[in-house]
């Protein structure tokens, strides 16, 4: 029985060389059987070479045998050289350039090698050299170039992609649906949706891949209205279609609609995969839909998808969801199950502790991470510094910032912003401004905005006005910037200046973002907007708010309208408006509908105001309810008349 000559586990290099000595005789022509044996087994031969020296010996055998002059054989050797662990493009190109008539297979291999090395221009230049030499490209050639344009997504890729599109049309390859879909995906990835839509609308032979690409393209660009229209028009849908639409809603911040669509997906009998589950867990965290999050966690465990620590991506999504829904203990439970934690998981848990104001626990976890040998990333330091900020741990936060360079992390503008926010919240306004003015890069609106919030919190008028005006210059179309400056003037009794800022805002057609609060009830996320009475229980809620205010006034509640800046004539009118802030409506709804033993969980899109904060503390005491509110900045856990933030937010 003949021993297999090319077994990668058994053959030694000397034995392999002996094999070639037998096959490479001095004869100038080779039987087809010999060529087939050598070339068809090139994949196995590849395992024998781990060093360039070995490849050069193989090249010598090809030269001395004359096989290098055979285009087919030389082409396969170039492929062999490019795909080895010691791939050398320069070496392969030298051999390629010596070929008189390389075939399309060889051209494609060399083009693919240039793309792998990140040289799109070289790949396109090679394509035109290929055409000049008389070689005809095939579908794989165009697929390589389109894939490369999608991969890099820069301005040059757009230009080259258009050039490739023109070549495809000249060669008649656009008649092939696979090529058309590649360009459709390319234009969508590059956010060239007008070109994508033109190609989509002009095509009459679309398939499911085409529809999924265009829906995903609009969803990722933020145009969920168009994405949903196309989604509803699809002749058929699969899991990819549903996932693309759900992802579009999550990206645009409409997590409530994402959850509704996920419920429809389940009614259709479609089983979500890991990608869909990760996306919908983001929606649960965004909207505070903890019951849906629990159900998804249970689904993951029942179907053994990795929620017990085997799938780190799912576990990270679960940790993030639980943290955002106010269930920090559940987040820790998932976190501790994962044995091989990566930096993303550590960051998610540290960030969760930061949101809840658990500064000491965040620092302790950061220490554990360092002891485990993990290298902190830029995001790690942002999470730790935010934790110090929300807990008022100024000295610890400064120490963390100063230790960054020692761990190989260069502070970015976000870190300087965290440092300024840390100092500003603690009342060190001048020091905070100094940090921003002296940082090595130009501070952006986000960093100045943190300082502006601190100025408003501590009534630092002069610096606040200066920063507020600069913010309006940086972001003239952000209504929130005008509101912050106007409020600063109003708090200082400068009503003329406050109204002037307000008029400027209105003249530019901008409106203050309406307060919105979300609360989950019976597996459905209810949405309440300040002053909006469109809910089906509006009458009962309105009556409940009145009853709650009367009970709270009996224990000393007085409305704080100092931060009210709206076009109203009197204090009474302002008091009525503040009674119907979105979280107050949500709390009234919760007391009417949610059992006393169940924690009330609310997610608000804006920072909670001083009056609502005091109001919620009293509600937790008078009605004996535990209330968790997540505002734009952090969590507030209200219980028995106290808040976890200790009035530091």
Q: In CATH, what number is assigned to the domain containing residue 444?
A: 1.25.40.10
> Does 76 fall in a domain?
no
> Does 401 fall in a domain?
yes
pLDDT grade for 55, boundaries at 50, 70 and 90:
low
Residue range 501-546, pLDDT digits in tens: 989 998 888 888 888 999 999 888 999 998 888 899 999 999 999 9
CA distances from 468 to 194, 414, 453, 574 (A): 38, 19, 10, 24
* Closest to 448 (Cα-Cα) out of 188, 140, 456: 456
> Does 622 fall in a domain?
yes
Geometric angle at alpha carbon 447, from 446 and 448, rounded to 5°: 95
Contacts of 468 (CB under 8 A, 6+ apart): 452, 455, 481, 484, 485, 488
Residue range 90-119, pLDDT digits in tens: 777 887 887 778 888 888 888 888 887 777
Average pLDDT, the chain: 85
Are 500 and 522 members of one domain?
no
Are 491 and 527 members of one domain?
no
Question: In angstroms, rounded to a whole number, what is the distance separating the alpha carbons of residues 626 and 645?
Answer: 14
Are 578 and 591 members of one domain?
yes
Q: Please spell the DSSP secondary structure of 156-194, one letter per residue.
A: HHHHHHHHHHHHHHHTTGGGSHHHHHHHHHHHHHTT-HH
- Mean pLDDT, residues 427-443: 94
Tokens 């969980």 belong to 601
Question: In angstroms, rounded to a whole number, what is the distance separating the alpha carbons of residues 202 and 373?
Answer: 56
pLDDT grade for 152, boundaries at 50, 70 and 90:
low
**End-of-domain residue from the set 495, 512, 529:** 512
Are 495 and 523 members of one domain?
no
**End-of-domain residue from the set 483, 512, 541:** 512
At residue 554, φ and ψ (nearest 5 deg) are -70, -20
% pLDDT > 90, the chain: 54
> Does 181 fall in a domain?
no
Are 383 and 481 members of one domain?
no
pLDDT higher than threshold 60 for residue 37:
no
Please state the domain count of the chain: 3
Are 399 and 435 members of one domain?
no
CA distances from 270 to 265, 282, 524 (A): 6, 19, 20
Domain of residue 384 covers 341-411
Residue range 238-294, pLDDT digits in tens: 999 999 999 999 999 999 999 999 999 999 999 999 999 999 999 999 999 999 999
Are 503 and 580 members of one domain?
no
pLDDT grade for 441, boundaries at 50, 70 and 90:
very high
Are 620 and 521 members of one domain?
yes
Question: In angstroms, rounded to a whole number, what is the distance separating the alpha carbons of residues 351 and 344?
Answer: 10
Are 531 and 548 members of one domain?
yes
Are 523 and 504 members of one domain?
no
Exposed, middle or buried by CB within 10 Å (0-12, 13-18, 19+), for 334?
Answer: buried
* Residue 81 or residue 614, greater confidence: 614
Question: In angstroms, rounded to a whole number, what is the distance separating the alpha carbons of residues 320 and 314?
Answer: 10
Are 634 and 524 members of one domain?
yes
Name the pairing type of β-strands 516-521 and 627-630.
Answer: unpaired
Q: Whole-angstrom distance between the N-terminal and C-terminal Cα of the chain?
A: 81
Are 535 and 551 members of one domain?
yes
> Does 633 fall in a domain?
yes
Write down the pTM of the prediction.
0.81
pLDDT, position 46? 44
Contacts of 343 (CB under 8 A, 6+ apart): 374, 375, 376, 377, 379, 380
- Mean pLDDT, residues 376-394: 95
* Closest to 488 (Cα-Cα) out of 523, 534, 453, 512: 453
> Does 487 fall in a domain?
yes
- Mean pLDDT, residues 212-219: 96
**End-of-domain residue from the set 390, 411, 432:** 411
> Does 539 fall in a domain?
yes
> Does 541 fall in a domain?
yes
β-bridge mates for residue 516, sequence order: 529
């Amino acid at each position: 029985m003949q021993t297999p000559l090319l077994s990668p586990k058994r053959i030694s290099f000397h034995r392999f060389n002996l094999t070639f000595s037998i096959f490479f005789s001095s004869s100038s022509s080779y039987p087809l059987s010999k060529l087939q044996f050598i070339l068809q087994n090139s994949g196995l031969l590849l395992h024998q070479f781990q060093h360039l020296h070995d490849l050069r010996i193989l090249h010598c055998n090809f030269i001395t045998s004359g096989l290098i002059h055979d285009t087919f054989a030389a082409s396969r050797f170039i492929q062999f050289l490019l795909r080895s662990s010691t791939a050398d493009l320069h070496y392969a190109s030298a051999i390629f350039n010596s070929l008189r008539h390389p075939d399309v297979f060889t051209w494609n291999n060399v083009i693919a090698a240039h793309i792998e090395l990140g040289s799109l221009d070289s790949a396109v230049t090679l394509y035109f050299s290929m055409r000049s030499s008389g070689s005809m490209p095939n579908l794989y050639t165009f697929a390589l170039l389109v894939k490369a344009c999608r991969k890099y997504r820069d301005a040059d890729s757009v230009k080259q992609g258009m050039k490739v599109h023109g070549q495809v049309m000249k060669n008649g390859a656009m008649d092939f649906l696979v090529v058309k879909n590649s360009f459709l995906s390319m234009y969508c990835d590059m956010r060239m949706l007008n070109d994508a839509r033109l190609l989509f609308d002009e095509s009459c032979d679309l398939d499911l891949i085409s529809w999924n690409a265009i829906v995903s393209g609009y969803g990722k660009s933020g145009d969920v209205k168009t994405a949903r229209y196309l989604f509803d028009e699809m002749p058929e849908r699969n899991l990819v279609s549903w996932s693309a639409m759900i992802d579009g809603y999550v990206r645009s911040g409409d997590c409530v609609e994402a959850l509704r669509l996920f419920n429809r997906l389940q009614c259709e009998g479609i089983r979500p995969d890991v990608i869909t589950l990760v996306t919908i867990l983001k929606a649960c965290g965004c909207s505070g839909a903890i019951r849906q999050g629990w159900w998804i966690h249970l689904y993951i465990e029942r179907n053994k998808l990795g929620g017990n620590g085997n799938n780190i991506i799912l576990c990270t999504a679960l940790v993030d969801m639980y943290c955002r829904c106010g269930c920090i203990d559940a987040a820790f439970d998932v976190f501790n199950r994962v044995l091989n934690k990566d930096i993303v998981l550590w960051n998610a848990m540290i960030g969760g502790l930061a949101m809840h104001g658990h500064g000491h626990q965040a620092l302790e976890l950061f220490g554990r991470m360092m002891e485990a040998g993990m290298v902190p990333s830029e995001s790690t330091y942002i999470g730790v510094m935010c934790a110090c900020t929300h807990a008022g741990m100024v000295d610890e936060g400064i120490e963390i910032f100063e230790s960054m360079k020692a761990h190989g992390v260069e502070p970015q503008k976000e870190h300087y912003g965290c440092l300024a926010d840390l100092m500003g919240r603690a009342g060190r306004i001048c020091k905070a401004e100094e940090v921003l003015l002296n940082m090595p890069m130009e501070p952006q609106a986000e960093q100045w905005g943190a300082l502006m919030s601190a100025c408003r919190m501590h009534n630092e008028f002069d610096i606040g006005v200066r920063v507020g005006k600069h913010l309006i210059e940086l972001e003239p179309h952000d209504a929130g910037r005008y509101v912050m400056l106007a409020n600063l003037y109003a708090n200082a009794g400068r009503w003329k200046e406050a109204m002037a800022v307000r008029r400027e805002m209105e003249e530019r057609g901008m409106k203050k973002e309406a307060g919105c609060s979300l609360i989950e009830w019976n597996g459905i996320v209810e949405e309440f907007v300040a002053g909006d009475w469109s809910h089906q229980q509006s009458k009962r809620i309105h009556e409940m708010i009145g009853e709650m205010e009367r009970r709270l006034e009996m224990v000393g509640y007085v409305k704080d309208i100092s931060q009210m800046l709206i076009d109203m004539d009197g204090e009474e009118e302002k008091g009525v408006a503040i009674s119907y802030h979105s979280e107050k409506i949500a709390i009234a709804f919760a007391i009417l509908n949610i059992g006393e033993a169940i924690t009330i969980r609310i997610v608000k899109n804006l920072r909670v105001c001083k009056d609502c904060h005091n109001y919620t503390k009293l509600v937790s005491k008078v009605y004996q309810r535990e209330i968790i509110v997540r505002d734009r900045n952090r969590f507030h856990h209200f219980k028995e008349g106290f808040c976890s933030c200790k009035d530091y937010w």
